[in-house]
Amino acid sequence: MSNVVIITGASKGIGLATATRFQQQGFRVINISRSECPLEGARNIAADLAETDWKAKHGKSIIDALFDSQGDNEPDTENDKIEQLVLVHNAARMTKETVSDIDGDVLRSVLQLNVVAPAELNTLLLPHMSAGSSILYISSTLGRKAVANTHAYVISKHAVIGQMRATCQDLAGSMIHTAAVCPGFTETEMLSEHLGKNPEIYQHIVGNIAHRRLAQPSEIAETLWFCADNPVINGAIIDANLGQIET
């Protein structure tokens, strides 16, 4: 029997850290993203989940990878079935816009990757998930509140929390559990691209974090592992932000 984790966007940042953490626990790693996961032994499915037809293009390849632990394009034997499947919805897009200037196509694109693709991936994989498996969503501190100039992302991350809660209710009795982890400001490429390189911005952000530093991807990965390993964490929203100073 084998354990498998499927992570969207495991090529860098929180996704890569999560792949590393689960592999340390003996999980086989499958990455779904445009870029490869550099972790040795990871299986990569080169799919762009922002495309509305990704499931038609890549659904079969994902299922084939799920049941091909040797990477030899041969399905596993009866003695090598999946015992625990963990699905981590990590891939996301963050854009800059306000309520006054948001473009409908941008909003649709953000929602496709951050909300719609996870729903479609759930329908693809749930038939292959047994008791003890889990579906983990990565939301954000901005799934709990809002800041200016990040309109589409805030909408999508609030929706992710609703999606997790609906998942919990729909899967009642299945013994498959779910949770939403809400990272605070985390030292990732996506955050760096969004904020730019102005040191004053970073100083302002760190000044509003109780621990006076950014979270590390490995810390978020550890939180996700805890959620996967503890089914009592079902329908829960986990803040992982080092403590935020309320102003």
Report pLDDT for 76: 64
Q: Quick check: is 246 in a domain?
A: no
Q: Domain for residue 174, yes or no?
A: yes
d(Cα 226, Cα 224) in Å, to the nearest integer?
A: 5
Q: Domain of residue 202: give its range.
A: 2-240
Question: CATH code at 22?
Answer: 3.40.50.720
pLDDT digits (tens, 9 = 90+) for 139-190: 999 999 999 999 999 999 999 999 999 999 999 999 999 999 999 888 877 7
For residue 109, the model assigns a pLDDT of: 97
State the chain's maximal CA–CA distance in angstroms.
58
* Residue 151 belongs to a domain: yes
pTM of the model: 0.93
Residue 206 domain flag: yes
The percent helix, strand, coil of the chain (3-state, each to 5) is: 45, 20, 40
Residue 235, in any domain of the structure:
yes
Any domain includes 149: yes
245 inside domain:
no
Using one digit for the tens of pLDDT, what is the confidence trace for 98-124? 999 999 999 999 999 999 999 999 999
Confidence of residue 194 (pLDDT cuts 50, 70, 90): low
Q: What is the rounded distance in angstroms from the CA atom of residue 137 to the CA atom of residue 29? A: 17
Number of independent structural domains in the chain: 1
pLDDT digits (tens, 9 = 90+) for 155-168: 999 999 999 999 99
Q: Does 247 fall in a domain?
A: no
DSSP SS3 for 55 = helix
